[in-house]
Amino acid sequence: MGKVWIGTVVSFHGIKGEIRIKSSFPYKEKAFLIGSHLSIGEDVVEITSYRKHKDYDMLTFRGYTKIEEVEKFLNQKVFKDREELNLSEDEVLDEDLYQFKVWTSTGESGKIKEIFWASKENKILRVEISGREILVPYQKPFIQKIDPKNKEIVLQLISGM
């Protein structure tokens, strides 16, 4: 049973125990289901409410109704059991992409060295292909195909990459 990093508690909202999480996790609708569980520090908590507010995910938990009870979560990382996410076969977590073989449309092979966000909306893959590193935007048309079953990614590179 592996844990997946979802985000970090960055602050609180109000006095009734609502926490504010900063997260770029792609499957929030599966991670923040009411009645499901999260691990924060040493605690496992059950989600009783979830909402979006600006760039934050706002949550409350069963048994935590005051700000004093959730203060211990400040700056703590939030994790979710991988099994509780119930990802479909075509949904892939960033951490799993490191195990994928990368192919280009011209037949060159390589591997992912790093995944990072260039901006709020733009995820970038740093890929090593034939001894050189290139940066590839994680979007179509650059990502032609992701095959979770065979653990492969097919890239369409443009001239100059």
Q: Are 83 and 1 in contact (CB under 8 A)?
A: yes
Query: How high does pLDDT run on average in the chain?
Result: 92
Give the pLDDT confidence score for residue 70 in this predicted structure: 96
pTM over 0.85, yes/no:
no
pLDDT digits (tens, 9 = 90+) for 1-35: 589 999 999 999 999 999 999 998 989 999 999 99
Rounded average pLDDT over 37-62 = 96
Q: Are 101 and 153 in contact (CB under 8 A)?
A: yes
Paired sense of beta strands 37-40 and 43-53, if any: antiparallel
Distance CA 147, CA 81 (A): 23
pLDDT band at 160 (very low <50, low <70, confident <90, very high): low
Q: Is the pLDDT of residue 67 over 90?
A: yes
- Amino acid letter, residue 104: T
Torsion angle, alpha carbons of 57, 61, 65, 69, to 10:
-90
Distance CA 103, CA 125 (A): 13
pLDDT above 90 covers a percentage of the chain that reads: 68
Give the pLDDT confidence score for residue 42 in this predicted structure: 92
3-83: CATH, from 2.40.30.60, 3.40.50.300, 3.30.70.100, 3.40.710.10? 2.40.30.60
- Please state the domain extents for the chain: 3-83, 94-155
Extract the runs of DSSP E, i.e. beta strands, from the chain: 3-13, 18-22, 37-40, 43-53, 56-61, 77-81, 101-104, 109-117, 123-129, 132-137, 143-147, 152-155
Rounded average pLDDT over 62-88 = 94
